[in-house]
């Protein structure tokens, strides 16, 4: 590549700067990403996260072989699951090739998209609904705006470009990113937005072109960073320096600009540095003083239950059959049957995670359906829950629990039930896991989240 071409492109960068795009300093000089937030708290304690990933191929998870896999968003979501932090995750509005104008258009037109993630009981949503119901949003967008103005021959290092288009693209990135943030915060003023910085996508090109690429990267990240600086709950996450430390591992394919698994893990690590998460405590604004508060806290800490994005637990909310199957699978840490063909025809609209949990409960004999139907949205009855837990005992011990003749008949309203269900209720009552009221078990009554929290926490203690 000739010096004339390099100097000409550098001149265009200076031109872009003169339009008001101030280059950000990379993390080696100054860390602009550490804008700590506390909005994921209730009573100063961290609660559940509803996470939405927006943007381009990096948010979608395109890897160095150009296939969609686990990107930084997926890694973050998995980490949140391990920390018992995650309420929901969706990367369904992240698309390879997207530019800032595409994201902005989707928001302004309130696009409907498929949910790609977990924690949802439906297959699709609008982007406004997704934003409104999320308290954590990451945004990766802007690189395609600039890359579309460049033609780079990776074999020779030759660069062709239009000087005016490059300057316009950099300005457009800053303007559109700011507009995206404003739109997001208009829909959800309490959302915490993390805008992801970019890395050098061409580290394998000749050394003589690297200074030029570094300057271009600084201006791109600068445009993005400047768009975030006016908002207290919007942070910039720098990634360039850490990715460059071992670019042969992190960006391994000279013919592809995307990251390896290791590279995406580095991006996720940079996010956590910016997020500043160190400790997790359970606290919900609607459980203080509730009779089941200690059981609810214990259930959430064990990862059995999750809170809602608004900081509530909703203890009196009725549990569905799908939810009951899910919490029992979580309580037992059963292997997920995500590759199993489901025996039920009526769970296809649920998230892949929920389907896997239902399949696991079926696979291990904890639940049964009615032919090909599970009726996942029906409220689970007290009798059904007792039966599920009895089956767990069989799974764990290899034999059903027997009821002592001395235990008697404490409940006057279970005689009409089948023998298996009746035995399950009596066995669980004998162990003190469940109880009734005034001589009645009320087998057909629904169960609440609070009640199931108590039952499962007591049952786990018993099994241990």
Helix (H) / strand (E) element for 383: namely: helix 382-397
Q: How far apart are CA 223 and CA 207, in angstroms?
A: 25
How does residue 6 score in pLDDT terms, banded at 50, 70 and 90? very low
Question: Which long-range CB contacts under 8 A does 64-67 form with residues at least 24 apart?
Answer: 64/251, 64/252, 64/253, 64/256, 64/258, 64/259, 64/260, 64/263, 65/253, 65/256, 66/256, 66/258
Residue 266 confidence class, pLDDT cut points 50, 70, 90: very high
For the ranges 33-47, 287-301, 394-408, the lowest mean pLDDT is seen at 33-47
Predicted model pTM? 0.58
Overall average pLDDT of the 122-144 stretch: 95
Asked if residue 39 has pLDDT above 50, the reply is no
Residue pair 299/453 in contact by the 8 Å Cβ criterion: yes
Q: Report DSSP letters for 102-137, one per residue.
A: HHHHHHHTT-EEE--EES-SSSEEEHHHHHHT-SEE
Tell me the C-alpha distance between 200 and 217, whole Å. 7
| Count of CA atoms in the C-beta half-sphere (13 A) of 155 | 0
pLDDT band at 88 (very low <50, low <70, confident <90, very high): very high
Where in the sequence of the chain do the CATH 3.40.50.1110 domains occur?
3-275
**pLDDT tens column, 320-376:** 998 898 888 888 777 665 556 778 888 887 777 788 888 888 888 888 888 888 999
Which fold, 3-275? Rossmann fold (3.40.50)
Residue among 312, 327, 314, 301 at smallest CA distance from 83: 301
Higher pLDDT, 48 or 173: 173
Q: What pLDDT score does 278 carry?
A: 39
| DSSP for residue 366 | S
Helices in 138-238 by DSSP H: which ranges? 143-147, 163-187, 210-228
């Amino acid at each position: 590549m000739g010096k004339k071409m390099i100097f000409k492109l550098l001149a265009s960068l200076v031109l872009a700067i003169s339009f008001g795009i101030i280059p950000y300093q990379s993390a080696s000089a100054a860390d602009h990403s550490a804008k700590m937030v506390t909005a994921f708290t209730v009573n100063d304690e961290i609660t559940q996260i509803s996470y939405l990933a927006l943007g381009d191929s990096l948010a979608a998870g395109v890897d160095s072989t150009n296939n969609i896999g686990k990107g930084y968003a997926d890694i973050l979501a998995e980490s949140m699951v391990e920390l018992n932090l995650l309420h929901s995750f969706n990367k369904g509005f992240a698309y390879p090739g997207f530019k800032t104008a595409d994201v902005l258009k989707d928001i302004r037109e309130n696009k409907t998209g498929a949910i790609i993630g977990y924690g949802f009981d439906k297959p699709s949503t609008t982007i406004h609904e997704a934003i409104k119901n999320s308290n954590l949003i990451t945004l990766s967008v802007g690189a395609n705006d600039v890359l579309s103005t460049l033609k780079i021959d990776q074999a020779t290092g030759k660069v062709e470009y239009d000087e005016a288009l490059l300057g316009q693209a950099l300005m457009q990135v800053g303007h559109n990113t700011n507009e995206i943030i404003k739109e997001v915060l208009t829909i959800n003023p309490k959302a915490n937005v993390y805008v992801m910085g970019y890395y050098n996508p061409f580290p394998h090109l000749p050394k003589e072109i690297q200074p030029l690429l570094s300057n271009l990267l600084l201006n791109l990240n600068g445009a993005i960073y400047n768009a975030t600086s006016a908002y207290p709950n919007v942070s910039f996450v720098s990634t360039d320096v850490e990715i460059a430390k071992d670019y042969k591992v992190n960006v391994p394919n000279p013919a592809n600009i995307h990251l390896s698994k290791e590279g995406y893990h580095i991006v996720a690590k940079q996010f956590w540095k910016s997020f500043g998460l160190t400790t997790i405590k359970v606290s919900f604004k609607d459980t203080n003083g509730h009779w089941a508060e200690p059981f609810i806290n214990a259930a959430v800490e064990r990862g059995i239950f999750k809170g809602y994005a608004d900081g509530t637990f909703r203890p009196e909310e009725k549990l569905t059959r799908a939810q009951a199957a899910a919490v029992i699978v979580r309580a037992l840490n059963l292997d997920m049957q995500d590759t199993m063909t489901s025996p039920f025809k009526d769970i296809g609209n649920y998230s892949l995670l929920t389907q896997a949990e239902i399949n696991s409960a079926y696979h291990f004999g904890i639940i049964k359906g009615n032919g090909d139907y599970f009726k996942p949205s029906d409220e689970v009855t007290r009798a059904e829950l007792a039966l599920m837990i009895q089956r767990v005992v069989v799974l764990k011990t290899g034999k059903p629990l027997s009821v002592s003749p001395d235990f008697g008949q404490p409940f006057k309203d279970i005689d009409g039930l089948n023998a298996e269900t009746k035995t399950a209720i009596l066995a669980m009552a004998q162990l003190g896991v469940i109880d009734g009221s005034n001589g009645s078990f009320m087998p057909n009554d629904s169960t609440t989240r609070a009640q199931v929290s108590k039952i499962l926490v007591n049952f786990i203690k018993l099994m241990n």
